[in-house]
Chain A
Amino acid sequence: MERTTIDLWVGVFVAMGIAALLFLALKVGNIGGFEAGSVYTTHANFDNIGGLKAKAPVKSAGVLVGRVTEIRFDNDSYQAEAILSLSSQ
């Protein structure tokens, strides 16, 4: 096959692949979403956290206001301590 045709097709192929990756990243994934930067941390103690995991969303009145950054066990109170990053706006 002609060299320029191969170049053209490879170009189209790579462009399509990158477009697919961008589609996955921008449309399917949550790029940006809740940005770090303007956040403050606070913590909350629970007797039982159930199935709560790190990076779970924190919602106030159904609106995303932050995320759970860390979950650890509090040795003094024998409770679970969740560290929350909340948006400071």
Chain B
Amino acid sequence: MGVSTRFFFLLLLHSGTCFRRPQLILREIFSSGVLSLIIILVSGLFVGMVLGMQGYETLQTYGSEEALGVLVSLSLVRELGPVVAALLFASRAGSAITAEIGLMKATEQLAAMEMMAVDPLARVVAPRFWGGVISMPLLAAMFSAMGIFGGYLVGVVLIGVDEGSFWSQMQAAVDIREDILNGVIKSTVFGIAVTVIALFEGYDAPPTAEGVSRATTRTVVTSSLAILMLDFVLTAFMFRGV
């Protein structure tokens, strides 16, 4: 824990140099953000569709099917969007980051960089960090938007809930600052947590094949746990039922 905290501060200290070379960050946004697009969009759509179906079943018992839009949008924007997108991001991009850096270390590429007076923290680690932190909120927003569209597809197009009340009740219930901004804050925090864990595990991995494979597994397990725990803490701070 102490070592990873020190690693995090070193990382922040070294990120100044990578902002002078935005091309490096762009490359990392590509590999962790753009390449995660498909899984995020498809799973967002299906999560929204399932929410629409299950929500309709439950709401129907109380005769309030019109609240389906509220149910789908609030659960996506507040919780499922940031959390599920971050879990997918951890297993899709986090594991890739750990494996890449672990292999770089195992094949002594990082040591070679240091020999050439290139700081691997500034050249390799910091751009991956910022790429992940920038991608994560965007991915979560796309997940939520796609999920709401999925809920719309099932609720309105398939089942036949009234379209007007679906959207208008949603607009009345969702607050810009309270719900959407908090969702963005959550996903940014998750992005920081996932990328720091992935980078640290990769950087800290024993330089053997077994070590890299263990580090990759640990990244997925640790960051999933961290996401769920952070989610509880952030939710406790944000929505205290005031």
Which of under 10, 10 to 19, 20 to 34, or 35 or more describes the interface residues of A? 20 to 34
Residues of A contacting B26 with CB < 8 Å? 6-7, 10
B interface footprint on A52-76 (CB within 8 Å = 1, 0 otherwise): 0111010000000000000000000
- Asked if B195 is at the interface of the complex by the 8 Å CB criterion, the answer is no
Q: Judging by beta carbons under 8 Å apart, are A10 and B30 in contact?
A: yes
Interface residue tally on B, bucketed by range: 20 to 34
User: Is B175 positioned at the interface, with any CB of A under 8 Å from its CB?
Assistant: yes
Judging by beta carbons under 8 Å apart, are B141 and A21 in contact?
yes
A23 with B175: CB separation less than 8 A: no
Tell whether, in the assembled complex, residue A9 and residue B30 are in contact, meaning their CB atoms are under 8 Å apart: yes
- Whether A31 lies near B176 (C-beta < 8 A) is yes
Contacts between chains A and B (CB distance < 8 A), count? 78
The answer to whether A29 touches B23 (Cβ under 8 A) is no
Q: In the complex, A13→B174 CA distance in Å?
A: 25
Whether A29 lies near B180 (C-beta < 8 A) is yes
The answer to whether A29 touches B33 (Cβ under 8 A) is no
Contact A17 B137 (CB under 8 A): yes
Please tell me if the beta carbons of B176 and A25 are within 8 angstroms of each other in the complex: yes
Instruction: State the Cβ distance, A14 to closest chain B Cβ, in Å.
Output: 7
**Residues of chain A lying within 8 A (CB to CB) of residue B174:** 28-30
- Are A20 and B145 within 8 A (Cβ)? yes
Q: Provide the residues of chain B in CB contact with A28, threshold 8 Å.
A: 73, 77, 148, 170-171, 174, 180
Of the A-B pairs whose beta carbons lie under 8 Å apart in the complex, a sample of 13, sorted by A's number, is A6-B30, A9-B30, A9-B34, A14-B138, A17-B138, A18-B138, A20-B142, A21-B184, A24-B180, A28-B148, A29-B176, A30-B176, A55-B175
- Chain B residues within 8 Å of A, Cβ to Cβ: 23, 26-27, 29-30, 33-34, 37, 73, 77, 135, 137-139, 141-142, 144-146, 148, 167, 170-172, 174-176, 179-180, 184, 242
